[in-house]
Amino acid sequence: MTRGILLINTNVARPLVSPVGLEHVTESLIGGGVPIQVLDLSFETDWKASLSKELKNAEPLAVGLSVRNTDDCSFASRKSFLPWIGEIVAELKKLTPAPVFLGGVGFSTMPETVLRATRADGGIEGDGEEAMLALTHCLSRGEDFSHLPNLVYWHNGEVVRNPRVDVDLRYLPPPRRRSFDNRRYQQLGAMVGIETKRGCPQGCIFCADPVAKGRKVRLRPPQVVVRELEDLLRQGVSWLHLCDSEFNLPLKHAKQVCRAIINKGIGGKIRWYCYCSPTPFDRELVRLMNAAGCAGINFGVDSLCDDQLHRLGRAHSSQDVAQLVGLLHKERLNYMFDLLMGGPGETAETIQITIDKARELNVPLVGIAAGIRVYPSTPLGKAIADGTLKEGLHPDTGEHPEQPLFYLSPSLGGDVITVINELAADDSRFLVLSAPAEKGSYNYVDDKVLSRLIEQGARGAYWDIIQRHRRT
């Protein structure tokens, strides 16, 4: 094979997030003998000039673009990245006849919408390693590729989505982690991503993770995770963020990963953050996480009102959360809670119950997302599509499918931020996902205050940096 693939990281939001998904795809292609070119737009100042330079003497078989986020998922700002991706696609069309394929977790949350909005030639839904390699082989041999699993493509003006085949992570070769400059990402204050598994089995009615990653949990062998960590360490990378939807699901695997890190003696050399579910969690896990270098956990708690938790499809109760907090405080593990307000059945009263409880439990930092991002393939999206939920959509016109769509419980009267601010604004432990850098916001997309703190040397998860800043 002589012609290769050009792979482009399009996620230029500041502060930075390392392009781990695109990195895995790139390395799978390299492993399959495909020549690759990589362009990381987050380090380029003039993106059009960079594209032009990259394609000057190159005739790639195809171009692959990462779509990590469709939008910032904030009800207040509703910043969509799809026009930006569409601009890149249009510019590429001027520079090369090569087809442009999209992929990434954002793309996989709603492939059809993203393809229509950006006019790319196609995309890979879900895992990219095997699918992109298979697509490349078909392209290089001039063969029909319309049968390939995970492929999303145009046919007679319609978007076709082929069935998905998820990669068996037990047999995936350990990634080399050398296709993108992870060291530079870390130097600029980003945490470098690493996975211990893919997929999430939880039944949360709103969440895009089971859609993008699958409901079946696919575990990576702990020894392979640790080998990757050791290799990143050798490259000078020690600030990490796990990419798992929930690190503690399943509990046994989380403990095995921690033990493998501890046994290799690298727990004191790395600092990592992760997302966890409030249950299952126990003292042994907290102690293992502490010893394995965990610097903080973001718990997706969503609500502290039991009726609301039930409506959101959550498995934990407010009592479980109270026990969890007792354990975390006793074992001194840094953490924050993420809450999701405005879901079906939410009222000012259920919000008050949640905020009062968070205060009573003395939770050190609480992030509040108000308004629920709606994705077509989630239970919430389906309830809206079949008419079960009729009111509460923003915007409710449905004219521009690429616009981020939110649900907000009609009982809240449309102004959920005011309700929340009245209940929590005086308390610096509460952050609201509004516009970036708005006072009290924790929207990371192009947040100037956060970016400045990082430039001045602050390190760690972005919520942890904000927390330390607020304390001082």
Write out the residues near ligand B12 by the rule CB under 6 A. Answer: 11, 13, 17-18, 20-22, 24-25, 64-66, 68-74, 101, 103-106, 108-109, 124, 127-129, 132, 190-191, 193, 195, 207-209, 212-213, 241, 243, 245, 275, 443-445, 462
73 vs 295, beta carbon nearer ligand B12: 73
Give least dist CB 346 to ligand B12, A.
Answer: 18
Q: Report the C-alpha gap between 136 and 294 in whole angstroms.
A: 39
Give least dist CB 280 to ligand B12, A.
Answer: 19
Q: Are 273 and 221 in contact (CB under 8 A)?
A: no
Give least dist CB 242 to ligand B12, A.
Answer: 7
177 vs 241, beta carbon nearer ligand B12: 241
65 vs 305, beta carbon nearer ligand B12: 65
Token pair of 194 as six digits: 């690493």
Q: Are 180 and 23 in contact (CB under 8 A)?
A: yes
Token pair of 33 as six digits: 């003998």
Give yes or no for a cis peptide into 222 (omega within 30° of 0): no
169 vs 424, beta carbon nearer ligand B12: 169
Give least dist CB 159 to ligand B12, A.
Answer: 16
Give least dist CB 57 to ligand B12, A.
Answer: 22
Pairing of β 239-242 and β 271-276: parallel
Element (H, E) at 54: helix 47-55
36 vs 262, beta carbon nearer ligand B12: 36
Give least dist CB 156 to ligand B12, A.
Answer: 23
Q: Are 363 and 357 in contact (CB under 8 A)?
A: no
Q: Which amino acid is at 307?
A: D
Token pair of 318 as six digits: 């407010």
**372-373, strands of its sheet edge to edge:** 372-373, 406-407, 393-394
Give least dist CB 359 to ligand B12, A.
Answer: 24
84 vs 444, beta carbon nearer ligand B12: 444
Cα(first)–Cα(last) distance of the chain, in Å?
57
- Return the bridge partners of 158, or none: 155
Q: Which residue is nearest to ligand B12 (CB)?
A: 103
14 vs 255, beta carbon nearer ligand B12: 14
Give yes or no for a cis peptide into 404 (omega within 30° of 0): no
Q: Report the C-alpha gap between 375 and 406 in whole angstroms.
A: 9
